[in-house]
């Protein structure tokens, strides 16, 4: 077993133990969480490999090899989230947990913990390098950049994508834990649900981090229609690691806008929130990712960071609209 695999496995164990402990304290039982992790692990691997095959099909002789032979190729992190979400649906249908929302809330901090280990596992590998050199010597320091040498022996510095990502997930873990302790059991106005909000915030944190940092990766896996339609002109500049996060952000935002407007009536707050969300998506997609791919300006990252932060705050404010008046903070 490689060091990378060992770190990821350690992260899975740490995440499981942490989530089990939280779930046992909350409900007094562990079966539902164990089942959730089992299904999430299997489905996460399947979808992570499928997405990697889709964007890097030349690595494998067939999709069958991608799903069965793990001695070659790698994984797409978005598959982990897809697998976890599907796992929650399965255990709910099977009746393996009393309240799916409670289980997911307890699993949310564990997800952030797991992502810390996943990102740390890439430190020291070529995958941790950003796609473009950072020329300014003022930025050549740990953990912002990683040092490398090209085939001609020239030293270069690139953005340390995965190490910065790990730091972001450490911060996200403490934020989600704080949210869990403060809002994990708060009453909300119908039709919003009392449970599952911590999980939604964890998904928001994941999406906000990945939609920005995926763009810096040297191995971004770009979405393209050609594998489906065999039409090269439909190839796009957006990676799968950004498409899944933007879908998550849209879904969570729409959920809370709908719940907030049904609970209190649709008003100016919701209009402003929708406008800010759309503007932020434009910042991320056009001024951010598109200009980065076409021009290579580092200002593009600033646009993406600002856009992601505004979206996260937007979602948080819409959730606050769903709370009982006395519980709004």
Q: Please report, in angstroms and rounded to a whole number, the separation of the first and last CA atoms in the chain.
A: 47
Q: Cα(12)–Cα(144) distance, rounded to whole angstroms? A: 26
Q: Which residue has the higher pLDDT, 148 or 110?
A: 110
Region 269-275 average pLDDT: 90
Q: Cα(180)–Cα(49) distance, rounded to whole angstroms? A: 32
Among the listed ranges 129-133, 172-176, 244-248, 283-287, which one has the minimum average pLDDT value? 129-133
Among the listed ranges 8-12, 149-153, 231-235, 254-258, which one has the minimum average pLDDT value? 231-235
Using only C-alpha atoms, what is the Rg of the chain? 20
Question: What is the DSSP secondary structure assignment for residue 266, as one 8-state letter?
Answer: S
Could you report the per-residue pLDDT of 205-222, keeping only the tens digit for each? 999 998 888 777 766 566
**Burial readout 177-195 (b: 16 or more C-beta within 10 A, e: otherwise):** bebbeebbebebbeebebb
pTM, to two decimals: 0.87
Region 8-34 average pLDDT: 92
Q: Which residue has the higher pLDDT, 158 or 290?
A: 158
By the 10 Å C-beta count (0-12 exposed, 13-18 middle, 19+ buried), 94 is classed as: exposed
**C-beta separation of 50 from 66 below 8 A:** yes
Residue from 68, 70, 74, 69 nearest 48 by CA: 74
> Tokens representing 149?
């040498």
């Amino acid at each position: 077993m490689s060091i990378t695999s060992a770190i990821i496995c350690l992260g899975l164990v740490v995440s499981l133990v942490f989530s089990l402990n939280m779930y046992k304290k909350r409900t007094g039982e562990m079966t539902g969480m164990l089942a959730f992790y089992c299904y999430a692990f299997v489905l996460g691997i399947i979808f992570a490999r499928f997405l990697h095959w889709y964007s890097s099909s030349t690595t494998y002789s067939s999709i069958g090899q991608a799903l069965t032979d793990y001695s070659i190729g790698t994984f797409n992190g978005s598959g982990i989230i897809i697998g976890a979400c599907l796992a929650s649906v399965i255990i709910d249908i099977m009746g393996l947990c009393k309240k799916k929302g409670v289980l997911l809330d307890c699993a949310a901090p564990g997800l952030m913990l797991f992502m810390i280990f996943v990102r740390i596992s890439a430190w020291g590998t070529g995958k941790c390098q950003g796609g473009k050199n950072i020329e300014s010597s003022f930025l050549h320091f740990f953990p912002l950049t990683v040092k490398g040498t090209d085939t001609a022996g020239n030293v270069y510095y690139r953005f340390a994508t995965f190490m910065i990502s790990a730091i972001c997930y450490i911060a996200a873990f403490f934020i989600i834990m704080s949210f869990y302790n403060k809002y994990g059991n708060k009453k909300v106005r119908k039709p919003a649900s009392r449970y599952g909000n911590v999980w939604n915030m964890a998904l928001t944190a994941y999406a906000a981090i990945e939609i920005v940092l995926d763009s810096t990766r040297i191995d971004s896996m770009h979405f393209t229609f050609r594998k489906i339609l065999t039409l090269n002109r439909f190839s796009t500049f957006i990676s799968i690691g950004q498409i899944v996060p933007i879908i998550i952000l849209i879904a969570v935002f729409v959920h809370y806008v709908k719940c907030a407007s049904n609970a209190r009536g649709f008003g100016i707050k919701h209009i402003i929130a929708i406008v800010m969300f759309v503007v932020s998506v434009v910042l991320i997609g056009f001024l951010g990712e598109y200009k980065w791919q076409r021009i290579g300006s580092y200002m593009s990252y600033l646009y993406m960071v600002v856009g992601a932060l505004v979206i996260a705050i937007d979602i948080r404010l819409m959730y606050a609209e769903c709370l009982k008046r006395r519980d709004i903070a």
